[in-house]
Structure 1
């Protein structure tokens, strides 16, 4: 009995000493946080003006009211069983490998591009494609929190004080990119840190108040590529006659959350006016249920004939189920819009690819042309595009949220298609855009090498020579864009399918993808996009967009985390992977 009591006493003393050690280290030995000095760019141009508040040309008489009568929404995440010790050990090792890759990229940015938009990961320089406001810094705030990098997060918080949104070298500001990266980044960090750092919300409001001027048009549709100098001078601005669909329809999640946190209705109002116009037009386009990839936002005409869910359209569809969650199911509008889009997506866009993996349903999404709402779809482009790989996640989320279990076939097939695309290229990394052979049937599709070669060329010898010279994997007939740009869309869907289904297949696929991507992209100062994933030694592009640390590595990390870390039942991810607190959860 004496020895047992002494053992418990020793254990208690040890725990206390460890706690005191951590306290002393963090309080006294770690010392004050000193972020690095900003990397300076060229001096401001002489006479360059600062943004200031001014009168609107087209003020809003009254704001649309944010619905707040929340409903109880279905559970999204799988009920994961308790893992064994060995399972946890293996998972944590993979998670740590992703964290090391993030720190490698972050330290390259911190050393060579601190406060700039992006580090040039091969040369050690920097780039400022997003107004020079520290895109990587802001975009990565929530990743720092999620990975438990407290010191790095504190350094970043201090650096935020120096970001001046009132001045930019950009002639036009891409409002969509600014909202998803900066506003989304601030809000997610604010939500994840439970509101402990007021500067995060302050900066989100500061930037959003400036961006609000892009909506100062006659019909309140935004000038998506906003000439802010014209607005500053009090000039009239107009929405674009060929506005990218995704840049028009992807404000709702961020601006709704901003209204929820501030109580200021103008943000929700700005986004909701757009969505009401999309709702009005949805069944009147040349492919009812879908919107063309480009729209005349000035006249609100939706008459173009190009349709797809990849480049130029993607996040508009992604935000339909996510905004339903963000308003707590208080409005049925987004469910209805989502379901209206799903039918033509399944009927006209999703197709099965002919591959050697006959037992798998490898699905992709085509681009189509439709010249009349009453006529048939006139042509298909059977491409596999990395940007389209998000759709597995969106359909999986919608299947759970809206009780559409039959749609999980499409969610899995579209996710599996992107996993297949990674696996079949030489380094295990998917090319940006390539064409494949479509199957005649979704139900069965036997591999036919002759059909594959004949689709490449009617001359079989020439077809074989192209397969060899262009390193075309079986089933691929043309590589339109051989880049790998560090994109997150494939791992995004893999993460969602893992969290939704609990199928180990997806976690295993994520590990293969991570190892292969890390191997061909790592440089001295981070990770670089590459020119051609088919080359024996892929050439680096010296570009590392902020979504590498904001999205791609975050999704990899969360795929190997415990499922309750940023649960899909507590958060909504914006299209830049920034998790925003669901309104039914506590703030």
Structure 2
């Protein structure tokens, strides 16, 4: 708690720190450091480039056209049917892979500027890839990895600046994506409209298929399937994903919280505990990104309510625990590596103070163990006994990229350097990059996940070289596949949301509009998406207005939530709400 004489000025100091200090500091003191930072970025860019090609070339040598590389034995695994299949049930007998890692690498090849290899990959996939295979696949995993990879690569292939010979490309990747999308549709044939988690690519829905799925599995389909509809003119894909998302949102609790697992036939929750990690994470991500991509107010309204609930019931200082969706009471106090995406999401809505706070805690854990363990028990200050692994996940690198682009703070370059060094020290082997089975011993596991090339290397490369993003307007799917923000895809989007580039400030000739990433503010606080009018006086989206204008109160509940730290305000003995009781 601050001394009484300090409370009144805290808001002013926070605003000065967030707005004036970075401008002053980086316009003067950092000028001398700019050449050193620039040199480091070039050096690290080349280091990441070598990482990508070490992983990619070993995959092409020892695993292609199978799904993923086993780097320790220099062999392969046909893992598309294993993704999400924890018990490895109902595996196909005659499935020989779908070149999963190659599909996942397509946009990374363009970002690295390797147009010739991108062209060769497109030609091979056009001539050889088929989805008419007897394989049971996880809808969510296949959607974000394969459908998203193909849709994104099609868009990049039709961009003449990416070096692909337009004479040889006749929308083959889009045709493959549409074929896969049609095979997805049977999953949505349920009484609720919520999709089954599993389908067979050749035979559709299998008899006695499980009706259990996750919140992410139902609520993280709209970007890929919506894009497919916009590209093909067939509304069925977007309609199916949107119906599922709306049904899922209707199942939220009165606290605007959702559980983790549910039944797609009955529409009943099976697991009431929830958080921002596994099973739920990309649901939140896709609400805000769908709003950016398609411009529907509906997505923004969902996101804002959901985000407020997360801040109110899950957040504890810089950490996010899990809570019961019905009561809001904490259930599990744990860090999971998938939560590390959250600071990046917060950058998109301008909550930089909260994003920085959480990101630093995740990085401290990374420094402690050398990598980010899958699950860490916060209340016991120990690793989860059975989830000590690190499968080359990208989330910390992703948030580091977003925060650097928003702040230009060179400290994030140092974070990226640390991540790159750890990956090379602990996971690089002769045959590629191997997952870590136990972070306490750094024992390796014989698996190089496709997302290492789709996301981890990509985000690290963009951290040190963002030329791909200059004067371009992309959002990235949860699997790291870039999708362009196009005005002709927008149902309705206020002008504030359609700058030339969501990730780069416009130059002087282009004007002053810029993104939430570069403005360091929450767009919701500048413009109301529904009404289109300007509003003032709110620092961040997590703000909950006071219930009483004069700040008189009978209990803490009446005082609302403080707008910077998102912590509950206190009602004093004298009956007044304390306005600035917490320090970030």
Q: Secondary structure of the residue that 1:243 maps to in structure 2?
A: strand
1:245 corresponds to which of 205, 212, 215: 215
- Tell me, yes or no, if structure 1 residue 549 matches structure 2 residue 453: yes
For 1:260, the equivalent position in structure 2 comes to 230
Judging changes above 3 Å, is the alpha-carbon distance between structure 1 residues 276 and 567 closer, same or farther for their aligned structure 2 residues?
A: farther
Equivalences for 1:431-450 in 2 at 5 Å? 431-437=373-379
- Tell me, yes or no, if structure 1 residue 271 matches structure 2 residue 241: yes
Judging changes above 3 Å, is the alpha-carbon distance between structure 1 residues 395 and 568 closer, same or farther for their aligned structure 2 residues?
A: farther
- Tell me, yes or no, if structure 1 residue 525 matches structure 2 residue 431: yes
Judging changes above 3 Å, is the alpha-carbon distance between structure 1 residues 421 and 143 closer, same or farther for their aligned structure 2 residues?
A: same
For 2:475, the equivalent position in structure 1 comes to 572
For 1:512, the equivalent position in structure 2 comes to 418
1:495 corresponds to which of 387, 392, 401: 401
Judging changes above 3 Å, is the alpha-carbon distance between structure 1 residues 139 and 217 closer, same or farther for their aligned structure 2 residues?
A: same
For 2:291, the equivalent position in structure 1 comes to 324
What CA deviation, in whole Å up to 9, does each residue of 1:337-369 have, x standing for no partner?
A: 1111112211221223xxxxxxxxxx2221223
The runs of at least 4 aligned residues of structure 1 exceeding 6 Å deviation read: 78-83, 235-238
Question: Alpha-carbon deviation of 1:85?
Answer: 4.9
1:173 corresponds to which of 119, 128, 137: 137
1:347 corresponds to which of 296, 312, 330: 312
For 1:141, the equivalent position in structure 2 comes to 106
Question: Alpha-carbon deviation of 1:249?
Answer: 0.8
Name whichever of 84-93 and 142-151 sits farther off.
84-93
Q: Secondary structure of the residue that 1:381 maps to in structure 2?
A: coil
For 1:583, the equivalent position in structure 2 comes to 486
What CA deviation, in whole Å up to 9, does each residue of 1:208-254 have, x standing for no partner?
A: 1222222233443221111456538xx7787x542111111111011
Equivalences for 1:99-178 in 2 at 5 Å? 99-131=49-81, 132-170=97-135, 172-178=136-142
- Tell me, yes or no, if structure 1 residue 367 matches structure 2 residue 336: no
Structure 1 CA distance, aligned partners of 2:425 and 2:213? 38
**Bigger RCO of structures 1 and 2 (CA < 8 A, at least 6 apart):** 1
For 1:211, the equivalent position in structure 2 comes to 184
Question: Alpha-carbon deviation of 1:191?
Answer: 2.2
Q: Secondary structure of the residue that 1:516 maps to in structure 2?
A: helix
- Tell me, yes or no, if structure 1 residue 294 matches structure 2 residue 249: no
- Tell me, yes or no, if structure 1 residue 422 matches structure 2 residue 360: no
1:539 corresponds to which of 437, 443, 448: 443
What CA deviation, in whole Å up to 9, does each residue of 1:101-125 have, x standing for no partner?
A: 1001111001111111001111011
Question: Alpha-carbon deviation of 1:398?
Answer: 2.4
Q: Secondary structure of the residue that 1:347 maps to in structure 2?
A: helix
Judging changes above 3 Å, is the alpha-carbon distance between structure 1 residues 164 and 158 closer, same or farther for their aligned structure 2 residues?
A: closer
Structure 2 CA distance, aligned partners of 1:582 and 1:150? 22
Q: Secondary structure of the residue that 2:73 maps to in structure 1?
A: coil
Query: Which protein is bigger by CA-based radius of gyration?
Result: 1
For 1:397, the equivalent position in structure 2 comes to 348
- Tell me, yes or no, if structure 1 residue 314 matches structure 2 residue 281: yes
2:337 corresponds to which of 383, 386, 403: 386
Judging changes above 3 Å, is the alpha-carbon distance between structure 1 residues 236 and 205 closer, same or farther for their aligned structure 2 residues?
A: same
- If the length of structure 2 is used for normalisation, what is the TM-score? 0.70
Question: Alpha-carbon deviation of 1:161?
Answer: 2.9
Question: Alpha-carbon deviation of 1:311?
Answer: 0.8
Judging changes above 3 Å, is the alpha-carbon distance between structure 1 residues 166 and 578 closer, same or farther for their aligned structure 2 residues?
A: closer
2:302 corresponds to which of 301, 323, 337: 337
Structure 2 unaligned segments of length 5 or more: list them: 1-21, 82-96, 160-165, 491-584
Number of aligned residue pairs: give it.
Answer: 439
Structure 2 CA distance, aligned partners of 1:364 and 1:419? 12
Q: 1:383·1:436 contact (CA, 8 Å) conserved in 2?
A: yes
Q: 1:189·1:200 contact (CA, 8 Å) conserved in 2?
A: yes
1:98 corresponds to which of 41, 48, 53: 48
Question: Alpha-carbon deviation of 1:264?
Answer: 1.2
Structure 2 CA distance, aligned partners of 1:219 and 1:430? 38
Structure 1 CA distance, aligned partners of 2:211 and 2:428? 41
Q: 1:134·1:163 contact (CA, 8 Å) conserved in 2?
A: no
Report the aligned-residue RMSD.
Answer: 2.6
What CA deviation, in whole Å up to 9, does each residue of 1:435-492 have, x standing for no partner?
A: 124xxxxxxxxxxxxxxxxxx5xxxxxxxxxxxxxxxxxx547655221110011111
Q: Secondary structure of the residue that 1:116 maps to in structure 2?
A: coil
- Tell me, yes or no, if structure 1 residue 561 matches structure 2 residue 465: yes
Q: Secondary structure of the residue that 1:483 maps to in structure 2?
A: coil
Structure 1 CA distance, aligned partners of 2:345 and 2:133? 34
What CA deviation, in whole Å up to 9, does each residue of 1:42-67 have, x standing for no partner?
A: xxxxxxxxxxxxxxxxxxxxxxxxxx
Q: Secondary structure of the residue that 1:202 maps to in structure 2?
A: helix
Q: 1:115·1:159 contact (CA, 8 Å) conserved in 2?
A: no
- Tell me, yes or no, if structure 1 residue 193 matches structure 2 residue 166: no
